[in-house]
Amino acid sequence: MTRTLLIDTDGGSDDVVALIMALRSPAVRVAAITVIAGNVPVEQATRNVLYTVELSGAQTPVYAGAAKPLLRELMTAEWFHGKDGLGDHGYAPASRKTESAHAVDAIIQTVQVNPGIEIVTLGPLTNLALAIGKEPRIIKAIGRCIVMGGAPCCEGNVTPAAEFNIWVDPEAAKMVFRAGLAIEMVGWHLCRGTAALNTQDIERILALGTPLAEFVVRCNSVAAEAYRLQTGEVGISLPDPISMAIALRPELCTSSSMHYVDVETASDLTRGMSVVDRLNVAGDERNRDLWAWALKTKVKTHICWTIDVAGWKTALYAALA
């Protein structure tokens, strides 16, 4: 049976690759794409999503969402993705338009008519937090929630402690991680090193000779350079497509475990840190008060620790052929 997906995205150069993978997959139907401010302002993110849907030949409805985090000013990542989020190659505006409904209402409505739906979040969690705040009954109707976000080994890409999607809107992330959704966390640690596309991988994609293959490499030109400057690693790091590959084929996550997860919102130094109770010490006397919510609700998150690197790249090539 075809599975149904809803994708929430902030329209960056790796997001659009993930969208292509889902839109081209015969295993899923993408019921809606909702857009959130993150890598770029929500208007630009929406333009990028519409462009990608059109390039993929899909008819998926697109809904624009929140323009800023729940409580904070928006901090974008043009330095990583380019001013337009897609490497500044001047892609023409799509002829498609967004639907009139707000993304938050679209999430609620799409979940209500598709119980068991799988949600994949590729940006800050603002839209999803607003949706579950407005209509908490959707929590039980969401089958899986794959979250690209977090740095469960505590090596962030924005600060030493935090990964971008969680750091941008930590209050939203805290709400979502505590809500009782079946969250599968795909952290930034899975998207580096051999998991990034190396020179041979990029050549292999370009050799496919399709417009989608060319787009995927070209729109990540600024991101590749930013990644090299940040980490010293050469290649294209693709957090959102890796998350999508796991959403589409859960067996690509090769080791995982369930833990309480909370998000730091009070500190400046560790803002947006995804704090994972990996050794299950939340119940110890010295921790009990801080983790009281978790000990009471028993809400745990499925953390993916390792992935099948060859398998994820094969899934990407298949989507672009």
> Interface with ligand BDR by CB under 6 A: which residues?
12, 14-15, 39, 77, 80, 122-123, 148, 157, 163-165, 188, 239-240
Tokens for 81, please give them: 């993705």
Q: Examine residue 118 and tell whether it contacts Ca ion (CB under 5 A).
A: no
Buried b (16+ CB within 10 A) or exposed e, 69-93: bbebebebbbebbbebbbbeeebee
β-pairing verdict for 261-263 and 274-276: antiparallel
Assess 12 for contact with Ca ion (CB under 5 A): yes
Q: Is the dihedral of CA 166, 169, 170, 172 positive or negative?
A: negative
Where are the extended beta strands (E) located within 40-197? Answer: 62-64, 117-121, 142-148, 183-186
What's the one-letter identity of residue 1? M
Query: Which segments of 69-125 does DSSP mark as H helices, in order?
Result: 78-81, 103-113
CB closer to Ca ion, 15 vs 163: 15
Task: Indicate which single residue of 123, 124, 152, 241 sits in contact with Ca ion (rule: CB under 5 A).
Answer: 123
The single residue among 45, 70, 104, 122 that binds Ca ion, judged by CB under 5 A, is 122
**Nearer residue to Ca ion within complex by CB, 76 or 98:** 76
Least distance between ligand BDR and beta carbon 29 (Å): 23
What minimum distance in Å lies between the beta carbon of 121 and ligand BDR?
A: 9
Return the one option of ligand BDR, Ca ion, none that residue 164 interacts with (CB less than 5 to 8 A, by type).
ligand BDR
Q: How far is the CB of 256 from Ca ion (least distance, A)?
A: 21
Binds 188, which of ligand BDR, Ca ion, none (CB < 5 to 8 A, cut-off by type)?
A: ligand BDR
Cβ proximity to ligand BDR: between 65 and 282 the closer is 65
Each residue 214-253 as x (binds Ca ion by CB under 5 A) or -, in order, gives --------------------------x-------------
The token pair at 185 is 């966390």
Query: Position of tokens 């333009």?
Result: 47
Q: Minimum CB separation from ligand BDR for residue 90, in Å?
A: 20
For tokens 């997001």, what's the residue? 15
Calpha distance 190→104 (Å, rounded) = 29
* Residues binding Ca ion: number (CB under 5 A): 6
Q: Output the smallest distance, CB 37 to Ca ion, in A.
A: 11
* One-letter identity of residue 154: C
186 three-class SS: strand
Instruction: Please identify which residue in 7, 8, 15, 120 interacts with Ca ion, judged by CB under 5 A.
Output: 15
Is beta strand 301-307 parallel, antiparallel or unpaired with respect to 253-259? antiparallel
What is the x/- site pattern for Ca ion, positions 48-87, by CB under 5 A? Answer: ----------------------------------------
Residue 181 dihedral angles phi and psi, to the nearest 5°: -75, 160
| Sites of contact with Ca ion (CB under 5 A) | 10, 12, 15, 122-123, 240
